[in-house]
Structures are given as C-alpha cells and as structure tokens.
Structure 1
C-alpha cells in the first residue's frame, strides 16, 4: 500500500516537473518572438559579462595591486576606468547610423593600417616579447584591436557590393584578401601571433558568410598555418610556448610554468570552488592571473559551476549574434554581425582552450573578463554595434516606429532606425541601351514585342530574298 502511494507521488512529481519545464519553455519561446528580444537579450548578456569581469578582476588582482601600489584596488580601478571608456564607445556605436559606418569603412581601414605601421617605428612599445603598443604622449593602445573592426566593416562592404560577381575568384579575393594580408604582415612583424590568428578568423568569417566555395578555405588555412609556423620560428618566446604545449613537463619551471599552474588552479576548484577571493593562485603562483589566465582563477574560486556559467554566457552571445544576423534583411548588416560574433566567440574559445591545455598559449585575453585596456574598449564597442544591428531587424523597426522607443530606448535616447531599402537598379543611358536578346526557339513568350516578331516571321519574312536578310 505504501509502495503504491510512493509510486503515485513520484508520477505526480514527474508530471508536475514536466509541466513546469514546458511552461518555462513556452514562456521563453513567446518572449523570443517579441520584436526587440534580440536587443534586450544582448544587453542582458553584455551586462552580466561586464559585471562578472569586474568581480573577477577585483578578486584576481588584489594581491598584486597591494604588492605594487600598496592598495588592493589599483588594477581594479584602472580596469573600471577602461570599462567606463568602453561604455561610452558602446553607447556611441549604438547611436551611429548604419549607413555612416558602411560609407566610411574604407577610412577606418586606412587609419588602422597607418597606425599598425607606426607601431613598428620608435613610437611603438614592447611588452611580453612583442612591439604591439603605440604610445602617443600619455595615450597608449594596441592598434590591432580596432583594426579587426575596420577589416570586418570594410570587407563586408566590398563583398556585399560585389555579391553578384562573387562566383569569380578575382572578384571574391580582390581587394579583400590583399588588404588583409597587408594587415597580417604588419602584425606579424611585431610579432603578435594571437592577434594574427584573430585577424585570420575575421577574414575567414567574411569569406564563409559571403558564400565562398569550400575548396578556397583549404588553401587559406594551409597558407595561414605556414605563416604561423614561420612566425613561431622567428619569435623566440613563441617557440617556448609551442614546446611547452607539446610537452608540458619539459620545462615546468620555465616556459611551461604558467600552463601547469593554470591546470593546478582548475583542479583545486573542484565543483563549487574555494570561494570568491579565497584562491591561492593569485598569490604570485600564477602569472597574469587577472589578465590572460583569469579563467583559471574563475575555476579555482567558483569551481566548475562558475566556469560553466561563463561558458553559457558566451554561448548565449553566439546565439544572439547569429540571431541578429539571420533576422536582418540588409546584407551588409548580416555579414558584419555574423563576422563580429564569430570573432568574439573564437577569442573566448582560444583563451579558454589554452588555459585548460587544449591549445598553445597565445596571450589573448578573455573578452570582457580579463583586465585590459584596448581589448575591453574594443569588445564593448563590438557589443554596441551588435545592439545597433539588433534594432535594425525588420520587426524591431516596425515596432519602434509604431509603438515608440520603449523603456530602454527612451532611457538611452536612441534614435529610431530607418527601414532598409534595397539599392535601386541603375538603368543604362538611353544612347547605350542594348537590344533585347534573341528569343530561343523553345522559350516562352516574353511579351507583345516577341509575339509581333513571331507573327512577322510567319507571314512575309520567308518570302524575302536571301540577300536582304
């Protein structure tokens, strides 16, 4: 009797749980069908990632900040200032008209190339074996970060403009690939392998979403692999990174020290971690604990649950970015949104991959989580661009123009986006118009003129002399 009651209770519990899950799923599906769902979801993920990064930078940098400046908040305050500057850039990216971004994309590219060239002069500063920082008075930044955005904007503009001719290789590759190779060469001369890889990701994403044939990617990947090997052989510190990846125990106190300490920190975290602020790796055991290897600190202090939460946030970023690209009708917005999303997710995957030992160390920060200046500002600008594109979805434009800007738009004072209008087809001048093509014998009638020509040919044209034809 008791067993029967227990079985019935379990069945009711399963039914209640199933109904609850179905209710949550239906509510989430209904929310995602709203016109501004992409915009709101992107802002939510953006806010969570920024907050997560602020908390982890404060925890991971407190010891080194106190040992260097006598205050546990010096590195955190610098990171907070960079986030404030990035928030201004994000807001500006949400407000700038889309047509202006596309029209001046070639200017952005030229400025980026000039800045990358200036890095190789006396104005450049060397850090961690690479001369990748440009120092202009009190201002110092990495030009390669905004160069990624410039390549995405300009490359998408060229490929969309020539989309009717992309079946021919010379139109598909020129001038996007030569400009990208010039940018690669300038970055490889620094040398900066990680940034070169990300620029390659931007180029591959542009070609992939533009519809390039698959056989082209094998040649590009082969060339990129050859260039990466050459860069590793030229840069001395990068050889140590590759050798430590292939054999982590070959130099545990030298080139493999950082990777080994990261794995030990992740192992100490377990399922739920040691607790926020209680990790030991930041006590000079793990170099760059608040920067490139902050994911190891997340695993040590928050455990597998914290790492999984961070992975879910980046997974949602990938989903909403591709959703924005799929729901837009402007081909340029579609291509740029997909490319920028691929870049962000690829950078996160590469950083997490080398922290857990799946990839060689490349020195790329974890977007919005690692402490950094130019990288944080650039990433926040990318989120601003994606938010701008989310408001240009056809359903979002219709809702904004009919129902008003909404609470978030009213709070941020965002302008109402204009609907997308495809470019009008240009007709040739009256003096240069060509005659319509001859009709095929088996084709269908194309109009009154074709029918008149057929009537004339069936009546008197056959009786004309041969010389008059």
Structure 2
C-alpha cells in the first residue's frame, strides 16, 4: 500500500513568501526586515531630495548678489549627496565584522582631522574654526567624528559588556576619548557640535547598558561643561539673553536679528506657503538661509504643511530604524543603530527648535536638508551602517563563529502502514 500522508501536526509549515522578495537588493530587503528597510531608504532619499530643492531656492539670491552661478551650491550639494548615497550602499552591504574593524581607524582619522584644524590647513567660517581647506577641497572633520565616536564606542562597550556594572570599565576609555573630541571641537568655538557630541556620548553609554548612576554622573559633568562653555563666551551669552527676550525692539537689529527674521519667515508661510522659490526672507534677511536656517525658508515657501511633512518623515525614519533594531540581539549592532538614529533625530529636533525660537541659536545643521557636504556624507554613511549591522541574512554572525553549523532537529517520520 502507498505510504500514509503525514499528519498535520508533523508537517513542516511553509514559510510565507516575502512580498518584497526579489524587488530590492539582498542587503535592503531580507526575510525579517523587508518592510522597514526600504522605508528607511525611501525616507532618507526623500529628505535629501527636499534638501536639494530648498538649498537651490534659499541660496540662489545670495549667489546672484555675490556674482556667482546661482546653481553653484545646489550642484555641489547634489554631488555630495550622490557620493553619500554611493557610500551608504557600500557600507550597507558590508558584514558586521567589517563595520567593527572600522572603529579604530575611524577614531584615529577623526582625531587627526580635528587636530589639523588648528594648523595652516584649518579655516575659520563665521567665527568657528572647524574646517579643513586643502587645494580648494573643504571638509568638516567634526561631522565625521560624530559617526566615528559612535562606532568606536559601540565596539568598546560590546567587548566589555560583562564588565559594565563596574564604573571604571563603563567610563574608560569611552569618556576620555569622547572628552578629547568634544574639547577639540570646543576649542574651535563650535558649541552646537560640542553639545551634539555630548549627546552622542550619553546615548552610547545608555544603549550600551551602563548603570544609570554612572550615566547620571557623566550627564552632570557634561551639563556643567556646557554651562562653562556658554558662560565664558560673550557672544554665546548674548544669544541666550537675546533668546530670552526675543522680539524686543532693541534687539531686532542685534544678536536676535537672525532668529527674529526666521520667526517672520515661518509666520508668513501660513498653511501652504507662499510658493516654492517665492520666499521673501531669503533676500538677505536671514543669514545662512541655506544652511542652519533652511527650515525657516522651507516653512515660508511650503507653509505648515511642508514643515509637518518634514517632521513626519523624521518620525517615520525613527520608528522604522527602532523597529529594525528590535530584530537584532547583537550588542554592537544595537549601540551603533541606536546611537546613529539618536544623533540624527536629536540634531534635527535641536535645529528645528532653534529656528522656531524654542532654543537659542547654537548653529547646528538640519540633517539631510541643510547645505553641507560633510554633514550629508556622514549622515548617509550612518544610515548605511544601520542597514549593515541590522541585516539578518548574514552568514558570518559573530555569535555563530567557531560553534559549527546550527541544524534543525529532525522531524520524526510517522509510522508507515502497509
């Protein structure tokens, strides 16, 4: 007689087919994260596209006034965006072990770059000495230092995971290295980037599982350092006092000039804006309209609807990344992913709060939207690393190396009847 069919309880369940399978590269859509990873990719490209359009709009008037090609800055931004997307693709396809191996080289190169800022290769822009200029090529090492600190901190904390309950292992060497990077940036008078680096250090410690007591002490020290940096600069204190009394007639032409005109731009945008390219405040009323204050031009031209669109995209990006992180149990991957998304979303919140008057002007760009090649490339590289470390279809996971191949237990065959 023919063999009896397997009982339903003993049949191997068929894995449901991923509807996105075959439509995206393997690193972008795997069986466990096929729905969220393309969302991350699409949101980032959408934000970068909005940034290119707004950079072209916000910079055209000042470029014409300066006698240069009005498309010069958007073309440069487009090239940097293209380079960043390529880097994102390359990094997203790397195994986790390769990302881990980049930790020390990235940290060392960042420290070298931050040190070169104070040599003849350094360049001062708007009072901040945080640029390198070599043969007409400019770069901002502090932007890449943010990403380097996250990856290196994740490598250190994941290796010392069993010892993090002891405060000396929790803070050494992460805090000393982070303090050196923050100090080098602060010496260049860039308080905004210094605060972002402090936020990154706190996020890395938190997601690494460092005890809250240690994190609280480190946070107190960081807050004290930030207050000292603000109190020792007349310009910074002036901005704080201007923020506290923003809108006063005596400050309308002083330190509050930029913030006040940014408020005017957002207010004049109404519900749906005055039209793309039709901003009036960009006519030399808002300094750095294409950079730190580009959100005000966006709000004026696209109105409340445009600003809510950008806020919604950042919210979707955060939810998608954290949803992807929940699928990984690797400590290094968790710290890298959470640290990078905290940096990007935290910096976006600070920038938007700054230009809308909720915070004093401290000078940080809006990720993916503000003009700046270094910021764009480092942010896109960070997204590429998130996609790399959260990819679940890797055959070389560290937890499986040296342990042989894990095989499923055999399913017992039912007795044959004759």
Same fold (TM over 0.5): yes
Alignment of 1:68-217 (within 5 A): 68-217=66-215
Moved more, 105-114 or 215-224: 215-224
Determine if contact 2:96/2:397 at 8 Å carries over to the other structure.
Answer: no
Contact kept in structure 2, 1:329 and 1:420, CA below 8 Å: no
Q: Provide the residue aligned with 1:263 in structure 2.
A: 263
Whole-Å separation in 1 of the counterparts to 2:58 and 2:175 = 40
Question: Is the partner of 1:126 in helix, strand or coil?
Answer: strand
2:395 to 418, 421, 436: 418
Is the Cα–Cα contact under 8 Å of residues 198 and 343 in structure 1 kept in the other structure? yes
Describe how 1:4-43 pairs up with structure 2 within 5 A.
35-43=33-41
Q: CA RMSD in A?
A: 2.2
Structure 1 distance, partners of 2:33, 2:39, is 11
Question: Using the alignment, how far apart are the partners of 2:290 and 2:364 within structure 1?
Answer: 13
Alignment correspondent of 1:437:
none
* 1:329 and 2:318 are equivalent in the alignment: no
CA contact (8 A) 1:321 1:337 kept: yes
Q: Deviations over 1:348-380 (max 9, x none)?
A: 000000011011111111011111121111111
Question: Given the alignment, which residue of 63, 66, 73 partners 2:64?
Answer: 66
For 1:226 and 1:423, the matched residues in 2 are separated by 44
Q: Rate the CA distance shift 1:353–1:33 in 2: closer, same or farther, 3 A.
A: farther
SS where residue 124 of structure 2 aligns?
Answer: strand
Residue 235 to residue 140, structure 1, CA distance change in 2 (3 Å): farther
Q: Is the 8 A contact 1:244 1:251 kept in 2?
A: yes
Tell me by how many angstroms 1:216 deviates: 2.7
- Bigger fraction of residues in helix: 1
* CA shift digits 1:95-144 (9 cap, x unpaired): 33321221231121112112111112222111111110012333221111
- Looking at structure 1, the residues matched to 72 and 64 of structure 2 have their Cα atoms a distance apart, in angstroms, of 8
Gaps of 5+ in 1: 1-26, 398-416, 427-469
| Conserved? CA contact 2:167–2:214, under 8 Å | no
Query: Residue 385 in 1 paired to residue 398 in 2?
Result: no
* Partner secondary structure for residue 69 of structure 1: coil
Q: Secondary structure at the match of 1:133?
A: strand
Distance 1:225 1:338 in 2: 22
Q: What is aligned with 1:409?
A: none
**In structure 2, what is the equivalent of residue 342 of structure 1?**
342
Establish whether residue 307 from structure 1 lines up as the match of residue 284 from structure 2.
Answer: no
- Give the SS at the match of 2:119: coil
1:296 aligns with 2:299: no
Checking the alignment, whether the CA contact within 8 Å between 2:95 and 2:396 is kept in structure 1 is: no
Shift of 1:384: 1.6
* Cα distance in 2 between the residues matched to 1:156 and 1:388: 14
In structure 1, how many angstroms separate the alpha carbons of the residues matched to 2:351 and 2:363?
A: 8
Q: What residue number does 1:19 align with?
A: none
Shift of 1:67: 1.5
Alpha carbons of 1:159 and 1:304: their partners in 2 closer, same or farther (altered >3 Å)?
same
Task: For residue 79 of structure 1, report the CA deviation from its aligned partner.
Answer: 1.4
Q: Does 1:274 align with 2:274?
A: yes
After TM superposition, give the deviation of residue 190 of structure 1 in Å: 0.8
Deviation (angstroms), 1:387:
2.3
Alignment length (residue pairs): 375
| Contact 2:292–2:364 (8 Å) recurs in 1 | yes
Q: Which has the higher contact order (CA 8 A, sep 6+)?
A: 2
- Tell me, what secondary structure is at the counterpart of 1:54? helix
After TM superposition, give the deviation of residue 425 of structure 1 in Å: 9.2
Alpha-carbon distance in 2 for matches of 1:203, 1:34: 30
Say whether the 8 Å CA contact 2:154–2:204 is kept in structure 1: yes
* Partner Cα separation in structure 2 for residue 265 and residue 221 of structure 1: 36
Could you tell me how far apart the structure 2 residues matched to 1:176 and 1:220 are? 11
Change (3 A) 1:180 1:35: closer
Distance 1:344 1:167, change over 3 A: same
| Between 236-245 and 355-364, the greater mean CA deviation after superposition | 236-245
Q: What's the TM-score once normalised by structure 2's chain length?
A: 0.85
CA offsets per residue over residues 220-247 of structure 1, 9 Å max, x none? 2222222122222333432322221122
Shift of 1:419: 4.8
Q: Which moved more, 1:342-351 or 1:322-331?
A: 322-331
Preserved CA contact (<8 Å) 2:208 2:331? no
Mapping of 1:235-254 within 5 angstroms? 235-248=233-246, 249=248, 250-254=250-254
Measure, in 2, the Cα distance between the counterparts of 1:53 and 1:270: 20
Deviation larger for 205-214 or 301-310: 205-214
User: Which consecutive residues of structure 2, in runs of 5 or more, have no partner in the other structure?
Assistant: 1-18, 20-28, 404-418
The range that moved more, 335-344 or 50-59, is 50-59
